[in-house]
């Protein structure tokens, strides 16, 4: 069973492999990260861990049964006043199995419990039907339309969170 894990330093090699192997797949629907992202990966990974320690972001990876391969990323970004932006991406080879829906649900639970957030925002290209399906399934509702950073038309979503029992931010089985 894949496991959702809070981002750690030792995830770096598998995360870089995940981003490299799926670069063309991601670029079909979301902005390409650019060559500099791959060249500067170690420093960037360290920066993410610093943001996480400071509490401005919470990063998670979905790890396969082999305990090494990264299947997806599920991140809570730009935390301000109890609100954060949810962003996610799955390896092409792992799509179509309901894993993004399950992992997004697990991250929403962590957000409401361990991270004590009160609401999440998300956005997706209008034509990203898989993303709309995931967001709707985990309880996001549409708040309007927008122009995304990639210049494409997008839809904005919000999900209000209710606090509850503490989760397990270190590792969560799906």
How many H-runs (helices) and E-runs (strands) does the chain carry?
Answer: 6, 8
Q: Is 5 in the site for ligand COA (CB under 6 A)?
A: no
Q: Is 101 in the site for ligand COA (CB under 6 A)?
A: yes
CB 86 within 8 A of CB 75: yes
Q: Is 98 in the site for ligand COA (CB under 6 A)?
A: yes
How near is the Cβ of 130 to ligand COA at its closest, in Å?
3
Report the sign of the C-alpha dihedral through residues 103, 107, 112, 118, in that order: negative
Q: Is 110 in the site for ligand COA (CB under 6 A)?
A: no
- 34 vs 55, beta carbon nearer ligand COA: 34
Residue among 158, 130, 127 nearest 144 (CA): 158
Among 95, 118, 119, 168, binds ligand COA (CB under 6 A): 95
Q: Is 129 in the site for ligand COA (CB under 6 A)?
A: yes
Q: Is 131 in the site for ligand COA (CB under 6 A)?
A: yes
Q: Is 20 in the site for ligand COA (CB under 6 A)?
A: no
Beginning with the edge strand found earlier in the chain, give each strand of the sheet holding 60-63 in spatial order. 141-147, 153-160, 119-125, 83-90, 70-80, 60-63, 3-6, 171-173
Binding site for ligand COA (CB under 6 A): 26, 29-30, 88-90, 95-101, 124, 128-131, 133-134
């Amino acid at each position: 069973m894949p496991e959702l894990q809070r981002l750690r330093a030792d995830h770096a090699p598998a995360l870089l492999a995940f981003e490299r192997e799926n670069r063309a797949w991601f670029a079909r629907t979301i902005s390409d990260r650019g060559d500099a992202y791959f060249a500067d990966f170690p420093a960037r990974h360290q920066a993410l861990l610093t943001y996480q320690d400071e509490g401005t972001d919470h990063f998670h990876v979905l790890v396969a049964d082999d305990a090494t391969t990264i299947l997806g990323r599920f991140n809570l970004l730009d935390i301000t006043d109890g609100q954060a932006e949810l962003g996610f991406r799955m390896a092409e080879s792992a799509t179509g199995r309901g894993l993004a829906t399950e992992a997004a649900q697990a991250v929403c639970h962590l957000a409401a419990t361990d991270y004590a957030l009160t609401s999440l925002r998300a956005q997706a290209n209008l034509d990203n039907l898989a993303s709309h399906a995931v967001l709707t399934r985990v309880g996001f509702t549409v708040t309007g339309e927008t122009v995304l950073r990639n210049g494409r038309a997008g839809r904005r979503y919000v999900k209000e969170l209710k606090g509850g029992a503490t989760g397990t931010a270190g590792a969560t089985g799906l």
